[in-house]
Amino acid sequence: MAFDKLLKFFAPKDTIFQPLFVKVAENLTAISKLLILTISENDTEKRQVHIVAIKDLEHEGDRLTYELYKNLIDTFITPFDREDIHQLASTMDDVADYINKTAQRIELYKPKRMMPAYITIAGMILEASKHIELAIKELEQVKNPEIVNNACDAVREIESKTDKLYHESIIEIFRDEKDAVELIKNKEILEALEKTTDKTKNVSKVIKTVLVKMV
Amino acid sequence: MAFDKLLKFFAPKDTIFQPLFVKVAENLTAISKLLILTISENDTEKRQVHIVAIKDLEHEGDRLTYELYKNLIDTFITPFDREDIHQLASTMDDVADYINKTAQRIELYKPKRMMPAYITIAGMILEASKHIELAIKELEQVKNPEIVNNACDAVREIESKTDKLYHESIIEIFRDEKDAVELIKNKEILEALEKTTDKTKNVSKVIKTVLVKMV
Amino acid sequence: MAFDKLLKFFAPKDTIFQPLFVKVAENLTAISKLLILTISENDTEKRQVHIVAIKDLEHEGDRLTYELYKNLIDTFITPFDREDIHQLASTMDDVADYINKTAQRIELYKPKRMMPAYITIAGMILEASKHIELAIKELEQVKNPEIVNNACDAVREIESKTDKLYHESIIEIFRDEKDAVELIKNKEILEALEKTTDKTKNVSKVIKTVLVKMV
């Protein structure tokens, strides 16, 4: 592997993009933890506190994404392809958006029961977020591209596992849930959860694209 | 503010893009008015006339968008970044698409009652369209960039208000609507309305990006 | 028409992109045929075989799309605009994705009855795929740009016809289907079918854009 090329990824002088991406990644991990708290909490009032916190972090993510775009316009030389910076910022933003969307649906629909699959998938989303955070931070040190690559593979694997669980859960509710309104609620919350993991996979794809260009 | 730079936005010699964007903007305002007429009309036959008119204007919007893309390919020098022209055309097209989608759902689902929130949100969409039209026209004269900026802020604010109303309405139907089929209808029409205001926000974002690049 | 320009489209030396696009196109036709088999089969076990085959071909499509992207990064000179190659690969991938999504919904929801419209639309999707395959192959020989153009127009026409049929079918289920859960199933399968034809239209748009740039 061409480590010398990798060293240029986040050049020592890049004090703009790398720290911002780290903040976005840490924000994703934090928001994923809040999603687990939201789903675990049965008391709707206490749950509401976590949902509001998710909304706040999602706004913080928007602010950081805007800052990344703004710097992209203002900065002549970027640490890597402008289009890739844009894609990375935009796909990471999508993850936060979908976690927020999931929380919103829980808030709005107030399902009678939280399906066990919810908490399992939320746990997988947290895992994926942690892998993304690791990959982004490793891109800073660029000592070991394999770590970045493995983290991306782990995200893909998590997405694939979630997909299976999502399928089983959808089959389950269409088979067992006789109340059409509850079925709609569970189906749409599951869809938001599954889309969130899709979005983490998109992030891993962009990071892989960046790696491919460098090695 | 660098007015001299702004003057280059729609250069006096740009007789292609600016007039087309004005037409697209006026089309959006017209189609928004038709959406209000559609929702206000209880007679399904009379309503159908407005829905057909929306479909026609949406096609007219498609035609104008295609013309913008075509000119983008044929024209070597553009008044501003090619990517921004593309984005502006594409996001404005999205607004028309979602107004049409809303009208289509009303036509297809024939909800037993029109929720009061429909008309309120449709009014907000018209307001947002008028602000977009103003911003686009102001970009022509470039006498006062603040007007453009304020119009964009107004669109964002409208979107934020609509979002709250949408949330309240979804909570309401999941709490009060016992007929699952009517619930699906109302939920999906509300979602189309809310997505329309999302799309107006996207337009305002692109216009802001263009402004940021110029000042 | 400037045939000399067209000759440059897939230059004789392009042994990378053109053969890959032909493979993707042939894959689309194959996957469309499997969708018809899926819908025609009433025995759920036998049906499952076709659904798994669709999933396999969709993965094969993903692999080919990834190869196209990879070559786009590695290849300095491309037969036509990089952005267009990207768009063409991405829109063709969308078609396969939506055929797979349709099959997935049939597998997950297990609707009590397959609506007659399903098979009609699946037939139209196969027709559209064949036109796309023809257009892609004609781009290789570049003897007659009219053939490419007509194939694209045919795809648009198919999409327009499907749209009408989709509308009629949605009206029908909201009028006749009293079981809310069955209504949801049919509505979502129809939506996936209709979105698939939308995606074929997007492919035809990209091919047309490429043609416009060359003549």
Cβ contact, residue pair A73, B167, below 8 Å: no
Average pLDDT over residues B95-118: 96
**Is residue B139 within 8 Å of residue B113, measured between CB atoms?**
no
Domain annotation covers residue B172: yes
Which one of C76, C87, C181, C187 would you mutate to disrupt binding with A, by most A Cβ within 10 Å of its Cβ? C181
CB pair distance less than 8 Å for A209 and C69: yes
Q: How far apart are CA A34 and CA A49, in angstroms?
A: 10
- Number of Cβ within 10 Å of residue A37's Cβ equals 16
Residue A205 distance to chain B (closest CA, Å): 23
Q: Domain holding B182: CATH number?
A: 1.20.58.220
Residues 5-24 of A with CB under 8 A from B: none
- Tell me the pLDDT tens digit for each residue of A153-196: 999 999 999 999 999 999 999 999 999 999 999 999 999 999 99
Please check whether residue C108 touches A, CB under 8 A. yes
Q: Say yes or no: B173 contacts chain A, CB-CB below 8 A.
A: no
Q: Does B184 touch chain C (CB under 8 A)?
A: yes
In the three-class reduction of DSSP (H, G, I as helix; E, B as strand; rest coil), residue C14 is classed as coil
Q: What is the pLDDT of residue A140?
A: 75
pLDDT at C164: 96
In terms of CA atoms, which chain B residue is nearest residue C183? B181
Interchain proximity C174–B108, CB inside 8 Å:
yes
pLDDT tens readout for residues B137-154: 998 766 788 999 999 999
Q: Do B180 and A180 touch (CB under 8 A)?
A: yes
What does the block give as tokens for C93?
A: 């991938």
Complex confidence, ipTM: 0.82
Query: In chain C, where does DSSP find H-type helix?
Result: 3-7, 17-40, 44-74, 82-109, 116-141, 145-176, 180-214
Q: Provide DSSP, C40-54.
A: H--SHHHHHHHHHHH
Any CB–CB contact under 8 A between A184 and chain C?
yes
* pTM reported for the whole predicted model: 0.88
What's the one-letter identity of residue A196? T
Asked, for residue C69, whether it belongs to a domain, the answer is: yes
Residues of chain A contacting B213 with CB distance shorter than 8 Å: 73
Find the closest chain B residue to C170 by CA distance: B108
Among candidates C118, C97, C119, which has minimal Cα distance to C196?
A: C97
**How does residue C3 score in pLDDT terms, banded at 50, 70 and 90?**
very low
Closest approach of B180 to chain C, Cα-based (Å): 6
Helix, strand, coil percentages, rounded to 5, for chain A: 85, 0, 15
> Which domain does B208 fall in, by range?
15-214
The verdict on B184 touching A (C-beta cutoff 8 Å) is yes
Q: Which of residues 136-165 of B touch A (CB under 8 A)?
A: none
pLDDT (mean) for B192-210? 95
Question: What distance in Å separates the CA atoms of residue B72 and residue B78, rounded to the nearest whole number?
Answer: 7
Chain C contact partners (≥3 CB pairs within 8 A): A, B
Question: pLDDT: is B144 or C28 the higher one?
Answer: C28
- From chain C, the residues in CB contact with B69 under 8 A are 209
- Could you tell me if residue B3 is inside a domain? no
| Segment B41-64, tens digit of pLDDT | 999 999 999 999 999 999 999 999
Give pLDDT tens digits for C63-122.
999 999 888 878 877 877 888 999 999 999 999 999 999 999 999 999 999 999 999 999
Burial class (CB in 10 A: 0-12, 13-18, 19+), B182: middle
Burial-class residue A89 by CB neighbours within 10 Å (0-12, 13-18, 19+).
Answer: buried
Distance CA B189, CA B103 (A): 8
* Interchain CB distance below 8 Å, B69 and C209: yes
Let me know if residue C7 belongs to a domain.
Answer: no
Our separate counts of H helices and E strands in chain A read: 7, 0
Q: How many domains does one find in chain B?
A: 1
Helices (H), B7-115: 17-40, 44-74, 82-109
Confidence at residue A79, expressed as pLDDT on a 0 to 100 scale: 79
Q: Does A180 touch chain C (CB under 8 A)?
A: yes
Is B2 part of a structural domain of the chain?
A: no
Q: How far is B89 from chain C (nearest CA, A)?
A: 16
Confidence tier at A215 by pLDDT (50, 70, 90): low
pLDDT attached to residue C7: 46
* A176 touches C: beta carbon within 8 Å: no
Would B4 be classed as within a structural domain?
no
Residues 6+ away with beta carbon under 8 Å from B45: none
Q: What is the DSSP letter of A10?
A: T
Q: Is residue A213 part of a domain?
A: no
Among the partner-chain residues C73, C104, C184, the one whose CB lies closest to the CB of A184 is: C184
A186 falls within a domain? yes
